[in-house]
Amino acid sequence: MAIVNLSGVRKSYGALTVLRDVSLAVERGAVVALVGRSGSGKSTLLRCINGLEPIDGGEVVVDGRRVEQNEASLRQLRQEIGIVFQSYNLFPHLTVERNVTLALSLVKKMSAQEGRAVAEKVLSQVGLREKMAAYPEQLSGGQQQRVAIARSLAMQPKLMLFDEVTSALDPELKEEVLKVMEGLAREGMTMILVTHEMDFARRVADQVVFMHQGRIHEQGPPSRLFAEPETPEFRQFIASTLN
């Protein structure tokens, strides 16, 4: 059964239409890569799934519940969906451990001891258990991004959203973050990611969704999609990523 169902989703900013009748189903445990040129609507679609952007039409259903723009509904939704952005958004004055445990104590009312146990577990998952006492400024960009991922994992989400999480990193740091995401995929985490990393999408995604001008232009398993692109737009996009 699908954990995410989008039906005819529309979104505009004034006169600019960003999403045009987007429909998509994401199965539990699947990894879905959203690809396409800048401005094609990928990041906006991700933010609509998490309720960060209200939609103008259609429906977003996550785990059987319609996403509504009311505080109680959004609070519940965001406990079940982790989202990681290009910018790490870590609190510079807090240790790595406290960055991870802050929401656990505020939202889940966990004790310091319980929170520490969770932090140890999720930081081990991203290979950073030894950095619990460090501050963000003492970490590389790749390490900070991995802490941001651990912070989301600490809430035990049913779904993880990744929005261009490697685009600000140099190649070596990028690879360490991608390895963490690949590990999550192997463990069965449902993930939707906006990415320009075509090799990663080919290797890890179950489904690739090519967006163009606010619509889903093509979608399917990467083995078929990259081997036999059906539209000139996707062929051009693939060619541009190889240059």
CATH number of the domain encompassing residue 237: 3.40.50.300
Instruction: Give residue 147's domain range.
Output: 2-242
Instruction: Specify the DSSP class assigned to residue 68.
Output: -
Q: How far is CA 71 from CA 13, 67, 74, 213, in A?
A: 22, 11, 5, 31
Res 23: pLDDT: 96
Q: What is residue 228's predicted lDDT score, i.e. its pLDDT?
A: 87
Residues in Cβ contact with 37 at an 8 Å cutoff, skipping those fewer than 6 apart: 212, 237
Per residue in 123-152, pLDDT (tens digit) is 999 999 999 999 999 999 999 999 999 999
pLDDT of residue 242: 67
Cα Rg of the chain (Å, integer) = 18
Per-residue pLDDT tens over the stretch 14-38: 999 999 999 999 999 999 999 999 9
Residues 184, 126 contacting (CB under 8 angstroms): no
Query: Which pLDDT does position 161 carry in this prediction?
Result: 96
Q: What is the distance, to the nearest Å, from the Cα of residue 14 to the centroid of all Cα atoms in its chain?
A: 26
Name the amino acid, one letter, at 20: R
pLDDT score of 71: 85
At residue 115, the pLDDT reads 94
Read off φ and ψ for residue 90, nearest 5 degrees: -85, 150
Per-residue pLDDT, 172: 86
From the list 115, 108, 88, the residue with the least C-alpha distance to 173 is 88
Handedness of CA 86, 212, 45, 69 (dihedral sign): positive
User: What gap in Å lies between CA 158 and CA 116, rounded to an integer?
Assistant: 21
Domain count, the chain: 1
Q: What is the pTM assigned to this prediction?
A: 0.93
Low-confidence ranges of the chain (pLDDT < 50): none
